[in-house]
Protein backbone atom coordinates (compact mmCIF):
# COMPACT_ATOMS: atom_id res chain seq x y z
CA UNK A 1 0.00 0.00 0.00
CA UNK A 2 1.38 3.40 -0.95
CA UNK A 3 1.59 6.30 1.48
CA UNK A 4 -1.15 8.07 -0.47
CA UNK A 5 -3.40 5.03 -0.11
CA UNK A 6 -2.71 4.90 3.64
CA UNK A 7 -3.48 8.62 3.90
CA UNK A 8 -6.71 8.24 1.96
CA UNK A 9 -7.73 5.19 3.98
CA UNK A 10 -7.38 7.19 7.23
CA UNK A 11 -9.99 9.68 5.97
CA UNK A 12 -12.31 6.94 4.74
CA UNK A 13 -12.14 5.05 8.03
CA UNK A 14 -12.25 8.03 10.41
CA UNK A 15 -15.09 9.85 8.68
CA UNK A 16 -17.07 6.99 7.09
CA UNK A 17 -16.84 8.51 3.61
CA UNK A 18 -16.04 7.08 0.20
CA UNK A 19 -12.63 7.61 -1.37
CA UNK A 20 -14.25 10.07 -3.77
CA UNK A 21 -15.75 12.06 -0.89
CA UNK A 22 -12.48 12.04 1.05
CA UNK A 23 -10.57 13.79 -1.71
CA UNK A 24 -11.27 17.48 -1.30
CA UNK A 25 -12.84 17.09 2.14
CA UNK A 26 -12.56 20.06 4.50
CA UNK A 27 -12.90 20.32 8.26
CA UNK A 28 -16.57 20.07 9.28
CA UNK A 29 -17.74 19.18 5.75
CA UNK A 30 -19.15 16.03 7.35
CA UNK A 31 -20.48 15.75 10.89
CA UNK A 32 -17.84 13.14 11.75
CA UNK A 33 -15.06 15.68 11.22
CA UNK A 34 -15.63 17.58 14.42
CA UNK A 35 -13.00 18.21 17.10
CA UNK A 36 -13.09 14.60 18.33
CA UNK A 37 -12.99 13.22 14.78
CA UNK A 38 -10.11 15.57 14.02
CA UNK A 39 -8.02 14.16 16.86
CA UNK A 40 -8.90 10.62 15.78
CA UNK A 41 -7.65 11.41 12.28
CA UNK A 42 -4.44 12.94 13.62
CA UNK A 43 -3.80 9.92 15.87
CA UNK A 44 -4.48 7.54 12.99
CA UNK A 45 -2.09 9.39 10.69
CA UNK A 46 0.62 9.65 13.34
CA UNK A 47 0.41 5.91 13.94
CA UNK A 48 0.26 5.03 10.24
CA UNK A 49 3.32 7.10 9.37
CA UNK A 50 5.20 6.82 12.69
CA UNK A 51 5.33 10.59 13.15
CA UNK A 52 4.40 13.07 15.87
CA UNK A 53 2.86 16.28 14.57
CA UNK A 54 3.48 19.62 16.22
CA UNK A 55 0.42 21.32 17.71
CA UNK A 56 0.52 24.12 15.10
CA UNK A 57 0.28 21.49 12.35
CA UNK A 58 -2.59 19.72 14.12
CA UNK A 59 -4.47 23.01 14.24
CA UNK A 60 -3.62 23.91 10.62
CA UNK A 61 -4.75 20.49 9.34
CA UNK A 62 -8.00 21.79 7.83
CA UNK A 63 -8.52 19.79 4.65
CA UNK A 64 -7.46 16.70 2.74
CA UNK A 65 -5.09 18.77 0.59
CA UNK A 66 -3.65 20.78 3.49
CA UNK A 67 -3.00 17.52 5.31
CA UNK A 68 -0.83 16.24 2.46
CA UNK A 69 1.22 19.43 2.66
CA UNK A 70 1.62 19.03 6.43
CA UNK A 71 2.45 15.31 6.31
CA UNK A 72 5.22 15.99 3.77
CA UNK A 73 6.93 18.23 6.36
CA UNK A 74 7.59 15.08 8.38
CA UNK A 75 9.43 13.32 5.58
CA UNK A 76 6.47 11.27 4.37
CA UNK A 77 6.42 11.02 0.57
CA UNK A 78 2.80 11.17 -0.55
pLDDT score at 35: 96
pLDDT score at 77: 96
HEC secondary structure over 5-62: HHHHHHHHHHHCCCHHHHCCCECCCCCCCCHHHHHHHHHHHHHHHCCCCCHHHHHHCC
Q: Where are the domains of the chain?
A: 3-72
pLDDT in tens, 35-56: 999 999 999 999 999 999 999 9
Which ranges of the chain have pLDDT less than 50? none
pLDDT score at 70: 98
pLDDT score at 48: 97
CATH homologous superfamily for the domain 3-72: ACP-like (1.10.1200.10)
pLDDT score at 33: 97
pLDDT score at 59: 97
Amino acid sequence: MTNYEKYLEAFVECFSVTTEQAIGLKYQDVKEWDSVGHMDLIATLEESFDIMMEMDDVIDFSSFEKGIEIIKKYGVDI
